[in-house]
Amino acid sequence: MIANNAETHVLQRAFRNIMNALARPGRLGEVEVLRAGAEEENPLPAHFEVVVKTLVDQAVTFAVSGTREQEATQWVVLNTHSHPAELEQADFILKKRRFLIHALFCIYLFILAALVRPIAGSYEVKGVDVARYQGEVDWSAFSEQGIAFAFIKATEGSSHVDMRFQENWEAVAKTSILAAPYHFLSYDSSGAAQAEHYITTVGKRRGMLPPAVDVEFYGDYYDTPMEPRKAREILGDLLEALEKFYGAKPIIYATRSAYTLYIKDYFTDYPLWIRGVYYPPFLDGIFSWTFWQYSDRGRLYGHEGVHIDLNVYRGTLDELQGLVIK
């Protein structure tokens, strides 16, 4: 759901006030309501509505415990695109009648989040990943801002092609940015069919980075993930076919949950591109990453979107150039 301008301003002020309150324990902070009468139409108290819209998004999970659970769950999904989870597994818990977020978890989360950018900033090779959501991209502007590499969405499943792929793929070649087209893994078609679709769409270009495969959950698979053995079979067939064609091991992108369920201890010889926008990968015990997506709220000029994903490479630019396909 896209907020209107007035709501956006309320949420921005709420975020600043929440950050100030967390930074100064014991200090009281105020949060505005979005509109009068919100408590009558929503299953959440009016002030809590603002807090939820400020802190919860599609990258986290939540659970509701207490009265009006079903109504509250539906409201949070509709307004934040977050995903419901069991109490023991949820990132945020809306508890009982007062709908209080676990305060200690929030403080812990934001302390860790504050560490992400400084730690990511210690890596010298910076990159982005883009898809149609960024609209038209000025790749020269990205290069001027120090972007050295990019993952560009190309394909998904066995038939879909990102509407901006060809445009991005041709434009990035005119810059010094090293680029890899990425494929979004589908659990609904075979690995062989997906590899054929990617190869047909992308082809092979001298100087490109190895293909990347995005492994995460979508649709019904958020609530009911595919059985690991079957998912690994699809992924393994895809990786094998891509490696054979390109002569290099593909890069595996994974969210924390997908990594734990499907990747960990199985695809250890493939370069790992890990998502970790709330805290560094090592806090999940992930030490062997090659690329780290550390932000999904990045700001760069040169594209039509609001935010952009930011990444770092764990190595030098010379080492990154050593990965390109000859």
**5-101: in CATH 3.40.630.30:** no
Length of the chain: 326
Q: Cβ of 285: how many Cβ atoms within 10 Å? A: 8
Which numeric CATH code is attached to 123-321? 3.20.20.80
**Could you list the pLDDT tens digit for every one of the 326 residues in the chain?**
444 566 777 767 766 766 665 555 555 556 565 655 554 566 666 656 767 777 677 766 777 776 667 777 887 888 777 788 776 666 666 664 444 444 445 555 556 666 788 889 899 999 999 999 999 999 999 999 999 999 999 999 999 999 999 999 999 999 999 999 999 999 999 999 999 999 999 999 999 999 999 999 999 999 899 999 999 999 999 999 999 999 999 999 999 999 999 999 999 999 999 999 877 888 677 889 999 999 988 989 999 988 899 999 999 999 999 999 99
What DSSP string describes 139-189? HHHHHHTTEEEEEEEEEETTTEE-TTHHHHHHHHTTSS-EEEEEEE--SSS
The alpha carbons of the chain give a radius of gyration, in whole angstroms, of 21
Q: In what order do the strands lie in the sheet with 92-95?
A: 83-84, 61-65, 92-95
Sequence ranges of the domains in the chain: 5-101, 123-321
Burial of 116 (0-12, 13-18, 19+ CB in 10 A): middle
CB 124, CB 295: distance < 8 Å: no
